[in-house]
Structure 1
Amino acid sequence: MPKLKTKSGAKKRFKITATGKVKVQQAGKRHGMIKRTTKFIRNARGTTVLADADARIIKKNFLPNG
């Protein structure tokens, strides 16, 4: 069976933590900040951890060697 390749778009967007969780940048901060509330912008700083159901998809299909 051939080796499984990592999706190159996924390796730029996701990181696997030491405990096996998937870290990702907060969404919704690329453009259109004028219509967003200050609270939304403040809460969308930094990174977040994906939900278990989404993390399972990422680890199985996109980052098999992660």
Structure 2
Amino acid sequence: MPKLKTRRAAAKRFNTTGTGKIKRMKPYKSHILESKSPKRKRNLRKATLVSKTMTEAVRKMCPFI
């Protein structure tokens, strides 16, 4: 059986919490920020958890995180 390899693009985007859940940053924070309210931009700074439906897909892409 071949070696398991991590998808590097996914590995850069996800981290694991202490309890084993997968953490990600929110999108839409890179440009066209003038039209977004300060409250919206402030909330986009925070990390969030990957949904339960996508967790299995992320684990397959990153088997070692």
TM > 0.5 fold call: yes
Give the corresponding residue for 1:23. Answer: 23
* Residue type at the aligned position of 1:7: R
Q: Distance in 1 between matches of 2:56 and 2:18?
A: 15
Give unmatched runs, 5+ long, in structure 1: none
Equivalence for 1:63: 62
TM-score (norm. length: structure 2): 0.87
Taking the aligned partners of 2:30 and 2:53, their CA distance within structure 1 comes to 25
- Match for residue 43 of structure 1? 43
**2:34 match:** 34
| TM-score after normalising by structure 1 | 0.86
Cα RMSD (Å) of the superposition?
A: 1.2
**Offset of residue 65 of structure 1:** 2.1
Name the % identity.
Answer: 37
Secondary structure of the corresponding residue to residue 48 of structure 1: strand
By percentage of residues, which structure has more helix? 1
